[in-house]
Amino acid sequence: MTDFPLEETRVEKPDKSFFVPKLCNACDHSPCVQVCPVGATFETPDGAVLVDPEYCIGCRYCIQACPYGTRFLNPITGVADKCTLCYHRIHNGQQPACVENCPTQARLFGDLKDHDGPLNQFLREHKIQVLKPHLNTYPKVFYSGIDKEVR
Ligand code: SF4
Ligand code: SF4
């Protein structure tokens, strides 16, 4: 039993629904790197974007600047945090954890400079989009077959 009267509500069914996992897009022109006042956010020579927790002062500028909403202030460390593309794993010859564990193998990770590799082969053979292309962030995370409503 509830003390509150239950009102009958009619909920319109949406025409369609979708789920778009968002991670750091490892932007080539990354707004987060541009706004960091102390150089704590930086791009690695191989194209990842990382945060050096020793330098981060927790000002949150990068969290505001990221157009993909992928950054947060880590409540334990007090510094900016985000997906690192599992940098520690990929430099150990492993795949990112999300790629390795996805039960449907929906994710593919690879070296964009390897023109004959499986990643570039996939990009050539599929219709590919990036999120918010009009912002010219040049993401290195690509989506196959997402609706234009979520770009
Ligand atoms: S997705 Fe956000 S956090 Fe990642 S590189 Fe781009 S602006 Fe930076
Ligand atoms: S929160 Fe840290 S990484 Fe982000 S802009 Fe500020 S100092 Fe740079």
The average pLDDT across 128-135 equals 95
Q: Which of 34, 51, 71 to mutate to test ligand 1, by most ligand atoms within 8 A of the CB atom?
A: 71
pLDDT of 98 strictly over 80: yes
pTM over 0.75: yes
Q: Residue with the nearest Cα to atom 6 of ligand 1?
A: 27
- Mean predicted lDDT score pLDDT of the chain: 92
> What CATH number has the domain spanning 31-150?
3.30.70.20
pLDDT, tens digit, 9 for 90 and up, residues 7-27: 667 778 888 777 888 899 999
**Hey, where are the domains in the chain?**
31-150
The one-letter code for the residue type at 96 is P
**Going by C-beta distance under 8 Å and a sequence separation of 6 or more, which residues neighbour residue 75?**
none
Q: Which helix (H) or strand (E) holds 49?
A: strand 49-51
pLDDT for the residue 137: 98
Predicted confidence at residue 6, as pLDDT, reads 66
Ligand 1 pocket, 81 CB below 6 A?
A: no
* H-state helical runs in the chain: 31-35, 61-65, 87-90, 97-101, 118-125
**Can you say how many angstroms the Cα of residue 126 is from the centroid of all Cα atoms in its chain?**
20
Tell me if 49 CB under 6 Å of ligand 2: no
